[in-house]
Structure 1
Amino acid sequence: MPELAPIVNAWFERNARPLPWRAPGFGAWGVLVSEFMLQQTPVERVVPRLQEWLERWPTPADLAAAPPADAVRLWANLGYPRRALWLHRAAVEIRDRHDGRVPRDVDALLALTGVGDYTARAVAVFAYGDHHPVVDTNTRRVLARAVDGRAQPGPPARRDLAAMALQLPAEHDAAARFNAAAMELGAVVCTARAPRCDACPLAAVCAWRNAGYPDTGDTRRRQARYEGSDRQARGAVLRVLREAPEHAAALDQVVPDWPDPRQRDRAIDSLIADGLAEASGGMLRLPR
């Protein structure tokens, strides 16, 4: 099949959204913070929160010097708040191990708390211009359809990196651009539920489209419903603590009207186990 990168990169130059982490000189710390925030969170919710974070903590050392409670509070409604703790710990590690500079080496990035294959390579590529495949859910979907002729990608696997590596141009700038462009294409055109094939630059060469859009199955893991879930209970507890004076509240005043008191108590216990809350003397507070 034709090389995908020249086609997708040309489309990206005309259609890329003006997102803050794509601005020249955004910096490795900003890229790292944005990648933490973008995990399982829509772009439109991340952008205002990212600006607020970087204004308050413009360097890893600034965040490392702040109490973990401040990180959890400012995380607000981004969801999966353990990411706030992980980012705080990563900032401490960057300060203590790397003289306050976000490392460039993928292995050094992987050694930071909360950083996995995707985030490490995203920082190395988008902040430093290095040559690596960067694969997120959107990229996997584009490759599954355009190259493999499948309606949806399979579960994430190490082979995804190899598949993307085969598509990367040798030139570093073009490779970095293609990494970003493939993600963008999957996010705004080659979407999971309603792909806009008539607007896709790969329409003429897409294996799935040319095969007549076969239903090849969908093995993606379904996220449990949020309403009524333990996740919702955890969020309600954290909201009370974020908004309480000094981020602390009496235990008997933490969402006392929750419909299922046992679920509320289970949420409190899990937050304590995750390090997102501390209990002492009948009080519950954000971590200090």
Structure 2
Amino acid sequence: MRAAETAAEPVTEPDPALPEPARGAAEPAGAPHPLPDPGVLAERLLPWFDAHNRTELPWRRPGTTAWGVLVSEVMSQQTQVARVAPVWEAWMARWPAPADLADAPTADVLRAWGRMGYPRRALRLQECARIVATEHGGVVPSDPAELERLPGIGVYTAAAVAVFHYGGRHAVVDTNVRRVVARLGGRSDAGNATSKADLAAAESLLPGDAPTAARVSVALMELGALVCTARKPECGACPVSDVCGFSGQEVPAGPSRKRQRYKGTNRHVRGEIMALLRNADEPVERARIDAVWPDARMLDEAVSQLIAEGLIGTDESGRFELPSQ
């Protein structure tokens, strides 16, 4: 359900657990402008959202299951939506329920993941599927605290599933929402990492009834993706500009953000090894592994990491392959 993703490289670890934010919190510390009343915000934001909601995203289609939402969120962790959409559709057609993925050969799961980056996410999804199938009767939990107990599920993903599928009243805070909330409070930027104050501020903007609050949560994400963008916010097209503390102001020129390098890195080596094994019809001799990268030290390091993480293994003859289970 994420509104926008920008990075195409493998993802960092999911967000660490944070306690539930206190309800009724005011604005972020030091904000010069009070955050708008939740009812006023909803009155302005929801009609705009109804007109601009990007329903072409496959996981926003009516009938998408909680499992489908969870899969979309894990896949969308720092992977562009355009890359996620076709993989998600193929994945859900093949493994529409947790039990289906739980029983699948792990090698097939990694092949289906393809080149989306950070393939440990695929392993964690399969671990999630097994736990949901065996401990929750195949039903994805609706409680964020219960969701956070699943492998690889952090605060954001847990809240997203609870809100986007189950319609709960919880703060769903990604980069877009943090930026919108910061600007409503008069600041140009929210900083680098999600804090308890961010969660509390976002929750303070939610109406009291859960169904409306859930729609506001999605609408805030969409507003940040389409209108209240990082560098060039379109205040003239913003439905909440009259209650925004930053409306009409220019975004200060900050330091240019360097694109994270991929070529020539450890991640690059790992990706080449994984690609070789995904496309192999049988276990691969070490000589073929050695041929994918000229630096023996980097290659040995990458192979050791992939084995330790359970992403590759060896057969009785010492040849390399994807894990069978």
1:141 paired with 2:179, answer yes
Provide the C-alpha distance between the structure 2 equivalents of 1:77 and 1:257, rounded to a whole number of angstroms: 16
- The residue number in structure 1 matching 2:314 is 279
Provide the secondary structure at the position in 2 that maps to 1:238.
helix
Per the normalisation by structure 2, the TM-score is 0.81
Match runs of 1:65-214 below 5 Å: 65-210=103-248, 212-213=249-250
Question: Does 2:296 align with 1:261?
Answer: yes
Letter in 2 for 1:276: L
Aligned partner letter, 2:87: R
Task: Quote the offset at 1:279 in angstroms.
Answer: 3.0
Distance 1:158 1:152, change over 3 A: closer
Higher helix share: 1
The one-letter amino acid paired with 1:182 is L
State which of 225, 241, 245 in structure 1 corresponds to 2:281. 245
Match of 1:32 among 70, 77, 101: 70
Letter in 2 for 1:254: I
- Runs of 5+ in structure 2 lacking a partner? 1-34
Q: Give me the CA root mean square deviation.
A: 2.1
Per-residue CA deviations over 1:132-171 (Å, capped at 9, x if unaligned) read 1111111111112222412343322222211111000112
Higher mean Cα deviation, 168-177 or 3-12?
3-12
8 Å CA contact 1:236–1:255 kept in 2: the answer is no
1:123 Cα deviation from its structure 2 partner:
0.9
* Residues 277, 285 of structure 1: 8 Å contact kept: yes
Q: Give yes or no for the alignment of 1:228 onto 2:264.
A: yes
Structure 1 gaps, min length 5: none
Q: What is the aligned length?
A: 285
Contact 2:171 2:217 in 1 (8 A): yes
SS in 2 for 1:207: coil
1:20 matched to 2:20? The reply is: no
| Distance across 1 between alignment mates of 2:114 and 2:151 | 20
**Which one scores higher on RCO, CA 8 angstroms, separation ≥ 6?**
2
1:206 Cα deviation from its structure 2 partner: 2.9
Residue 9 of structure 2 is aligned to residue 9 of structure 1: no
